[in-house]
Homo-oligomer: A and B are copies of this chain.
């Protein structure tokens, strides 16, 4: 949108246009959101706008794990109680947040910011792979848990990282694939069932 176009547009139309650029937000949803914001007290609009700008301006990448932080290193990397010998490698910051919500993991993270996807022109150079290798060289890591997605790109990334890291003697593991908890076999797809059989464990 040019500056001229922007000036000629009514503020409500401009907001609808900006909101439509968000993923999963069509013009209809954008209109509903814009009119909702319109009906709220001015503090609502100021709070939301402030949060957007502040997030973008104040958030940067942790120099250690490449996660999001306001400081040089993030709260997890600064926490001495987190096991520095275990690093869980994920694609996105929100993946680390999902693992954190379980409370089941006490190690550190490394955020790749994507997965290898030749079709989209994303190779290891576009990801935070060099940062991971530098971290492993100087660090105390003894196990790398690869927690990339269970899709083609995630698997390709896992394979690539495994080959890269294994020569250094560090143990490389992968999250288990299988039947989701609460999942009825009837509704689980064939490849998940195959993975679950392949990865079956003794009682």
On A, residues with C-beta under 8 Å from B are 1, 10-12, 14-15, 17-19, 21-25, 29, 31-38, 42, 44-59, 68-70, 92-94, 97
Q: Which residues of B contact A52 (CB under 8 A)?
A: 15, 37, 45, 48-49, 52
Do most interface residues of chain A lie in helix, strand or loop, or is the interface mixed?
helix
Number of copies: 2
Q: Could you list 28 examples of A-B contacts with CB < 8 Å? A: A10-B68, A10-B69, A11-B58, A12-B68, A12-B93, A14-B55, A15-B54, A17-B51, A18-B51, A19-B48, A22-B37, A23-B33, A23-B36, A31-B97, A34-B55, A35-B93, A35-B94, A37-B52, A37-B55, A38-B56, A38-B59, A38-B68, A45-B55, A45-B56, A46-B53, A49-B49, A49-B53, A52-B52
* CB nearest to A45 among chain B residues: B56
Question: How many angstroms from the CA of A38 to the CA of B93 in the assembled complex?
Answer: 11
Question: How many angstroms from the CA of A56 to the CA of B14 in the assembled complex?
Answer: 12
Q: Which residues of B contact A94 (CB under 8 A)?
A: 31-32, 35
Question: How many angstroms from the CA of A33 to the CA of B19 in the assembled complex?
Answer: 10
Are the C-beta atoms of A14 and B51 separated by less than 8 Å? yes
Are the C-beta atoms of A32 and B21 separated by less than 8 Å? no
Question: How many angstroms from the CA of A31 to the CA of B1 in the assembled complex?
Answer: 26
Cβ distance A35 to chain B, nearest Cβ, rounded Å: 5
Closest 5 CB pairs of A and B: A45-B56, A49-B49, A11-B55, A15-B51, A18-B51
Known: A35-B92, A45-B53, A45-B56. 17 other contacts (CB 8 A): A10-B59, A12-B55, A14-B54, A22-B37, A23-B32, A24-B29, A25-B33, A34-B55, A37-B56, A38-B68, A42-B56, A45-B52, A46-B53, A46-B56, A48-B52, A49-B49, A49-B52
Which of B12, B35, B49 meets A50, CB within 8 Å?
B49
* CB nearest to A14 among chain B residues: B51
Question: How many angstroms from the CA of A57 to the CA of B47 in the assembled complex?
Answer: 13
Question: How many angstroms from the CA of A122 to the CA of B46 in the assembled complex?
Answer: 27
